Structure 1
């Protein structure tokens, strides 16, 4: 599931992403980046709790959620609500939709401990509205008919398969080891579930470290490996892969989810190597990075549906709020498009992006007041959502999960 999403966005459109909710790619200026620290340090504030995980990770005026062609953009099946943030009704464009979104908050526990909790809203496909759920973690399968869900108090010993039209769990898949995340493969036929002994979002007083001159509760290593599960049969194969050790003096632990590769043949986790990721086959054996993924600019890069283009970095200077698109074969810049963070492709020439208000976007002020836009390769923009709260650690900041329809 990159988030802004929990380390989900890298391997398919619904992933979060996945990218962390506090991902520096949101910044509208080339401010100092601390990506590595954000991935591996959990702090006693909401933003850093999000960063402890690998989060993870779409025009018309608001109104009903019915889909209709958007002649202005040339993209079909657009559902937009620029007056809603967080959205109450379907947001979608072309091949992708926001199937769910989450917010995060820090909950203090007895004895000086704490936990970062996810509050999810999931699309009810019968009504086209997002409904609050009690699940602690979820992911939506391509086609948006089924969600895989985990109950509260992670880790848990079973995975639910939920019908998005009825909101009911149709089947439970039990696991011998408790799991703390779950993600559908790109084709929707398998699940990847990361196993933990402790709550991966837990912060513990006896693992405290210094942050901004204060002792704060920290994460603990408890990852044990991952399951690859056949959805049809429920057959689950476990691969033992404990958590990595500490890196550069920073505390490492908490949420360290595995993710699917883009083609669904391998799984991976973030790494300090040249590829930025360590790859494994489904049995847990470490393997070289696939050639195509090794060539991409980052693990958060998103390929266009035809595989010819890939999202790049924020490249804005001065008052420009733009990011680059690169040619997959040559690596050369093919275009620059409006946006701080490019999230998903609606079709081969349109993307969904976060962008702050150009009139109010400045470092330390309006850079985090951003909205979802549909952007074209020629620079046209169409609002899809309202603006998020301007503060990075505001508990109302919502993080979308994109799923192919």
Structure 2
């Protein structure tokens, strides 16, 4: 049996095959083309236009463009330092090879935030970027050739596209889902299910194996942004816990810390008194002693064991390259990617090609 998605995909592939030469990115383009054909037919039938929406997501590590941020409060011992070395702006052929960032990490994908548009996904096998469009969310794995995709027409499902073969596989996951988040090893997807009667998290393997774990939201109380995220080593998932200060619409609710749960059996494992929300697995330092969180107002660098605030930082969306090096995107100017030390001193700055300046980025190991 075939459905409208498969029919549209087949039509798109045949249309593209009429060309004189095969295209390396045929799979991603065909999938996007098929989606557009299906939308066009549905729009004509309804007599109206259909507008695609790009989901805001956190696939692995998200470095998104942000409005100009309030300057971080300087540390008492901070001093003015010279401007860091700035690498050249990538040329027009930047997509023909992996875009290497300071710290020897690479851009794995770039998509728009809150508006439809053309995105880019790194094909590690071919060593180049493919064009991805027509989905509501594209989430490349940190390693390997898989990308997860979401479609508002399939709100309970996620698709896995193997860039090596271009074969999409759709899996039913559940209701009221968050965006998918890849584990650090690229072998599992994490979802938060926000069902009123079944709050918790769901893990999905690339072969379709699904495990769901319920969490008592009254016992493990969380308000505001309450999505589960991975731990640094991928053995646990964590949920922010709301403090006792009450709810205030003008700022984030005060966090008492984060509660961690086993990714193997869903049982609670430990509690850490960090006063904010980690953005993802690489917000935690490799040695586990420090973590970057979004506090009530500012991004904070804090001690994991005690919750003591070490200093404020320009952004909470960081990648720990080593125990004393952070990779993040500047929140002003052209949103360059920066390698910095723990004092906030910029060490190297990497401008982005113009096609990526206004996109949210995902990055991974080289």
TM-score normalised per structure 1: 0.52
CA RMSD of aligned residues (A): 5.0
Instruction: Encode CA deviations 1:238-277: one digit per residue, 9 max, x unaligned.
Output: 2346988xx99x9x7xx85432233333333333135444
Runs of 5+ consecutive residues of structure 1 not aligned to the other structure = 31-58, 67-80, 107-116, 198-220, 315-321, 357-366, 389-395
Deviation of 1:399 (Å): 2.0
Q: Which residue of 2 aligns with 1:401?
A: 362
**Cα distance between partner residues in 1 of 2:173 and 2:299:** 42
The whole-number CA distance in structure 1 between the counterparts of 2:198 and 2:285 is: 33
1:371 to 2:336 alignment: yes
Residue in structure 1 matched with residue 89 of structure 2 by the alignment: 62
Question: What is the CA–CA distance in structure 2 between the aligned matches of 1:230 and 1:372, rounded to whole Å?
Answer: 31
Give CA deviations for 1:57-90 in whole Å, capped at 9, x if unaligned.
Answer: xx53134599xxxxxxxxxxxxxx8xx9xxx972
CA deviation profile, 1:207-234 (whole Å, cap 9, x unmatched): xxxxxxxxxxxxxx79854322233x42
- Corresponding residue SS for 1:131: strand
The residue that corresponds to 2:37 in the other structure is none
Question: What CA distance in whole angstroms lies between the structure 2 residues aligned with 1:262 and 1:340?
Answer: 18
Name the structure 1 match of 2:108: 99
Change (3 A) 1:256 1:121: farther
Match of 1:28 in 2: 71
Q: Which of the pair is proportionally richer in helix?
A: 2
Contact 1:266 1:281 in 2 (8 A): yes
- Structure 2 vs 1, CA of residues 60 and 154 (structure 1 numbering), >3 Å: closer, same or farther? same
Return the match for 2:185 from 180, 184, 187. 187
Distance of aligned partners of 1:353 and 1:124 in 2 relative to their CA distance in 1, 3 Å threshold: same
Tell me by how many angstroms 1:118 deviates: 8.5
Cα offset for 1:341? 5.0
2:238 aligned partner: 268
- Counterpart selection for 1:300 from 253, 278, 283: 278
Name the structure with the higher strand share.
Answer: 1
Tell me how far apart the structure 1 counterparts of residues 327 and 118 of structure 2 sit (CA, whole Å).
23
For residues 89 and 153 of structure 1, the distance between their equivalents in structure 2, rounded to whole angstroms, comes to 32
Query: Who is 1:237 aligned against?
Result: 211
Deviation at 1:140? 2.9
Q: Does the aligned pair in 1 maintain the 2:123–2:145 contact within 8 Å?
A: no
Q: Per the alignment, do residues 350 and 128 of structure 1 end up closer, same or farther by CA in structure 2, a change over 3 Å counting? A: farther
Q: Structure 2 matches for 1:280-295, cutoff 5 A?
A: 280-282=261-263, 287=268, 290-291=270-271, 294-295=272-273
1:385 alignment counterpart: 351
State TM-score, norm by structure 2.
0.56
Classify the secondary structure of the residue corresponding to 1:271: strand
Partner of 2:123: 124
Give the conservation status (yes or no) of the 8 Å contact 1:226–1:258: yes
For residues 240 and 222 of structure 1, what CA distance do their matches in structure 2 show? 9
Matched, 1:134 2:134: yes
Offset of residue 155 of structure 1: 1.0
Secondary structure (helix, strand or coil) at the match of 1:138 reads: strand
Distance, in Å, in 2 between the alignment partners of 1:325 and 1:240 is 31
Q: How many pairs does the alignment contain? A: 280
Partner Cα separation in structure 2 for residue 181 and residue 336 of structure 1: 28
Aligned-pair CA distance for 1:191: 1.9
Shift in alpha-carbon separation, 1:380–1:161, aligned structure 2, 3 A: same
Shift of 1:311: 3.9
3-state SS of paired residue (2:112)? strand
Residues 139 and 180, structure 2, Cα contact 8 Å, conserved in 1: yes
Render the CA deviation track for 1:169-212: whole Å, top value 9, x for unaligned. 35443446574522222233322233468xxxxxxxxxxxxxxx
Structure 2 contact 278–316 (Cα < 8 Å) conserved: no
Asked whether the 8 Å contact 2:57–2:179 carries over to 1, the reply is no
Distance 1:307 1:257, change over 3 A: closer
Change (3 A) 1:127 1:387: closer
CA change 1:331–1:23 in 2 (3 A) is farther
Structure-2 separation of matches of 1:325 and 1:225: 28
Q: 1:242 to 1:189 in 2, by over 3 A?
A: same
Instruction: Tell me: CA distance 1:137–1:268, structure 2 relative to 1, closer, same or farther (3 Å).
Output: farther
Q: 1:181 to 1:383 in 2, by over 3 A?
A: same
Aligned residues of 2:277 and 2:293 also touching (Cα < 8 A): no
Asked whether the 8 Å contact 2:190–2:201 carries over to 1, the reply is: yes
- Structure 2 gap ranges (5+): 1-54, 74-85, 244-254
